[in-house]
Structure 1
Amino acid sequence: MGEHGAAALTVRRLGAALGCDPSALHRYFRDMDDLLLAVADELIGRALLTWRPTGDWRADPRTLGLRMYADCPAHPRAAMPTCTRATGRTREIRSVEAILGVLRGAGFPDAEAVRIYHVFVDQTLSFAALDASTPVLPERARAQEVQARPRTYARLPAETRPNIAATAGGLVAEMDRSGYPAALEMVPAAATARLQRVRRTAP
């Protein structure tokens, strides 16, 4: 997938790369979509390998989220078609169970725990897919992407674009890196406010 992209992944090509008869792959995977789901589950599993809950409900999802996210830009051609998939497999189930356990253990009612989990996982996978999309662009498009903001936003006049002109340096620098770590920090802050509200209104 890293060499040719997911669209070029076929049983015949994979069999040739592995040095085996392509039909042998069907002993392990029903079809190529089944293989893609296994790849998605493998990416999730890598994040879980060294992650252990510490009991800090704010820090634990953040640590896991960063690990889940990091593997996707590291393998962008694999991440792009798999970040949107629910695998229903062992590693995905383990991650869902772990995150819900952290949130329920912190005192969130079930409905709130599910809502926060939903935000957390969609945010993680959305940023992973977004940030994995740039490395797989054609070389020319990638170069244009790198230069677009410095060429445009750093040069807009204060007379007509005062807000952009006032923040141009920070804007260009900030947009040059992923927004995921900052977005991830905002989830526990919002979740804390929800937990406090639940505790105030609980019978």
Structure 2
Amino acid sequence: MATTRAGSGRVRRRPTRSGVILEPEMIIDAALRLIEAPGGNALTVRRLGVELGADPSAIYRYFRDLDALLIAIADRLIGETLAGFVPGPDWADSLRDMARRVHDSMLRHPRLAQLRAIRFTAGPNELRVDDIGIGLLLSAGFSAPDAVRHFGDFIDAVLALAAMDAAELAPGQEEADKRALAKVYATFPDEDYPHLAAVRPHLRQITASPFPGVLDKLIAALSEAVPRSSH
């Protein structure tokens, strides 16, 4: 992958203090454990060296810097998202399945959700997602430029929604916010907010995840945009 130096033939694989030969995947595994450690992200180069039983500077023989390591981790998680995914005959169903897998993965790894939503990895797994997604839209009948543009819009929306759902809040904060909002919805004066008053019984839906509904709308919009000659 573009962000590592592994596989170039120039990396000297010397044993660590514990006698273990470092590999990029081993470093990624250890970094992911530190990121997801109880109590908060504990990833630093020093702690990573301790976790691996290696001099911290050894990490730089495999990754340019800590940012490059984070990008490699993000690409690894994209690969896990696609594990077992096989596009079916219906492009819309396949795209929906891909989106749900991305969303589920972001919820499993919330501390990396924002990174994954805003950065490109340029790694093999990101390229594979793009290849599959654009291929699905090409199979639907979109032209090459439209397939690229629509898939970019689609996957960015999915990532943004997933990052929102994955955002870590202080313990109990989400439920406290929902209770406070429910109290406001139940007590605001009808004359001040007449339109909200008209839909008061349904306002609790606002606190639900927007992901399912927006995903439906995205797929519907794409289906409507398919060139007529392809129907």
TM-score norm. by structure 1 comes to 0.87
Deviation at 1:196, TM superposition (A): 4.0
Aligned to 1:82: 116
**Sequence identity, in percent?**
38
Structure label with greater radius of gyration: 2
Aligned to 1:192: 223
The structure 1 segments of at least 4 consecutive aligned residues displaced by more than 6 Å after TM superposition are none
- Tell me whether 1:138 sits opposite 2:170 in the alignment: yes
Distance 1:119 1:148 in 2: 34
Matching residue within 180, 193, 200 for 1:168 = 200
1:5-154 to 2 correspondences below 5 Å: 5=40, 8-133=42-167, 136-139=168-171, 141-154=173-186
Higher deviation after alignment, 91-100 or 147-156 = 147-156
Whether contact under 8 Å (1:55, 1:102) holds in the other structure is: no
- Give structure 2 stretches of 5+ with no counterpart: 1-34
Aligned to 2:210: 179
- Give structure 1 stretches of 5+ with no counterpart: none
Higher deviation after alignment, 79-88 or 11-20 = 11-20
Deviation at 1:52, TM superposition (A): 0.6
Aligned alpha-carbon RMSD (Å): 2.0
Distance 1:65 1:111 in 2: 21
Distance 1:153 1:119 in 2: 33
Whether contact under 8 Å (1:100, 1:117) holds in the other structure is: yes
Deviation at 1:93, TM superposition (A): 0.2
TM-score norm. by structure 2 comes to 0.77
